[in-house]
Structure 1
Amino acid sequence: MPNLSAAPDSTVRRLLIVDDDVDFAVSTSRALGLAGVDCTLVHSGAGALDQLARDPVEVVLLDIRLGGEDGTDLAARLRARHPDLIVIIMTAYASVDSAVAALKAGAYDYLRKPFFLDELVQALDRCFQLAQLRRDKARAERQLALLHQIEAASQLAAGLSHDFKNMLAVIGANLMVIDDGLHAHDVLKPYATDAREAALTAADLVARLMGFARGEGPPGAVIDLGAVVGNVAAMLTRTLCQGMALDLDLPAAPLLVPADPRQVETALLNLLINARDATGGRGRVAIRLSRVWRGGPYARLEVVDDGPGLTPEGLERALEPLFTTKPEGTGLGLPMIQQMALRHGGRFRIGNAGGGDAMGGDGARGARAVLDLPCLGGDEAPDPGLDQGSGENM
């Protein structure tokens, strides 16, 4: 039995067969099923239009004669409704005119019955490869548009940060004068001190935002990522995530990463606050830190919640700057994590948890964020016990 070449992203290859010869359609679908193609059968033009409206596919195998219907006319109608549809027309009455008519109707390929299964498989292989190329092109265009949005957001952040920095400098200077001028036992002293410290914290946040806008590279500091993650989780357990269950899975040995600890803290803080908001502050979050191999040693930080997960729009636009599903959200948290990962030579992605293995329960769902950062530990080949980072589908 011939085999179709493996799909680059392991996408299931689905085919709609439109043929009024039921025996031929059934036997062909069975043979293609053994070759890894999931086939759906219809036996009329109306059936094809209805099936594609309910369950779109990318490739159609269409007979040129369907009882009293003209397959070339049907191909043109299908392509009019589904412009990206890839159609192979087959016929037992091959002629130059019918081949030209098929191509004019938008058919991608043309087969003469009877044909060998190998011939059909090769034609379908070309069709599925074209479909994959189109998906790759669309993905690249979305990523390019995202980069343009990040650039625009960075320019906006730079301008706003500069103005806020100037205003905070005035506020901080005045608070310093007030704080230093108050007696130690003055009833207003604690309030002035708190306001002064808050202004300093705000100035630090603005500095981080300006770093995001300028695309500054990571400093030369090396941190124990496990210690940073543990400290942030402990702090949030006592404060913002007080009503949640945080399940920590950290390695016993230090996991050394060349990174800015403040940026890592901010990234984890954003992810945990998102998890808190998604679960209403009463959910369960698994935080796992491990060492994986992606052509070199990487530290992988996973944050998985048991909330409702991301909507299709959320999955598509989660990393777009200024996109948010929260009434008072800024839409900059996740894009800043992504940019931080890229500047450190890492990778960040977010999706739905699915089956729930990461949460330790059957059927658990929710959002899953994965941050990979290069870590120290040698460039030797991984040992059998090291997670090699396979199986990622985000």
Structure 2
Amino acid sequence: MNFEYSEKVENYRKKISDFMDEHIFPNEEIFSEQLDRHDRFSSYPPIIEELKQKAKDAGLWNLFLPESEYGGGLTNLEYAPLCELMGRSSIAPEVFNCAAPDTGNMEVLVRYGSEEHKDKWLRPLLDGEIRSCFSMTEPNVASSDATNIEASIIRDADEYIINGTKWWSSGAGDPRCKIAIVMGKNDPHAPKHQQQSMILVPLDTPGVTIKRTLQVFGYDHAPHGHAEIEFKNVRVPASNMLLGEGRGFEIAQGRLGPGRIHHCMRTIGAAERALGILCKRVQERTAFGKKLAEQGVIQEWIAEARINIEQSRLLTLKAAYMMDTVGNKAAKTEIAMIKVVAPNMALQIIDHAIQALGAAGVSQDYPLAASWANIRTLRLADGPDEVHKRAIARQELKKYQ
């Protein structure tokens, strides 16, 4: 495995790094100010659309799609360091049209969508004209085991009828969110992993009701939001079914593999930013007669942070390399490992940065508190730590059977 960045990747890294310094970081505060001027879920800060056009003009658009005529033509390994840079700001991924859940949904449409699906939904998503959501988790069952999902998708002539309640459908609060990929059960009597299907449901379909948006440690993540959605006798054309009945788990594995590693890449970027904030701050503040940077405990935090970031990055690059060379299924253990490692690593670094900054660290003057809250959800999203550890342990035990 050779993780040296190619000339192409180095050029992209420089372009994205310069773009972040020139356009992203200086406009984070403007984004927040514009968001607060109106109902936080009724409109969208115009600064984002301005920045998206700049990213398009700079050729920094849809870089996430590997082996596709639709994307930037980068492999997962090539995209990893670029995604990491984007992860240093909460607003950056959308600016480059590389934000979840749209990336995962676009990959689903590329891999499993019909030409009709691609024309109607993929093209507008690739152009950044609309947003999307992914409706899998449910409030009444333990969704860490997706076989528990109870929402129904029942065939009726040339239509499907969807009934059920989903929540944590991230992105559904956005007024530009037009389409949901819904996972539900179409045959409760089929084999365990062939009962589920995925289907496309436009959010303006009669019977679709966004009941509320949920907060994350008090953050509403507007205008993106995490919605609770009721589907009540929702009818969509049978052609909206993705891949075929009973193939929901197959689609989920294809979707969640890249999505998980993208989260890890961005998480490493957030950890790098937190470490940078910590290092700058401790050299500016004095306590008990010397700079905070001279305190042994602070130096230990910094050293541990650098070690843990490098370890996480290497494991992420290995997972990306395996996805490119042997496929997502063969790389499932590496993907599971980094999904456990990266959020826990970043949370520790962000926590130390908050501690070093004191009261400032938990305020809105720094991105640390919001970053911690966001990354803490990643220990649950796309599978909780315990599920991934279970899978890792089972693979390890197989070696000795």
Please, what TM-score do these two structures have when normalized by structure 2? 0.25
Higher Rg: 1
More helix by share: 2
Q: Of the two structures, which has the highest relative contact order with CA contacts closer than 8 Å and spacing of 6 or more?
A: 2
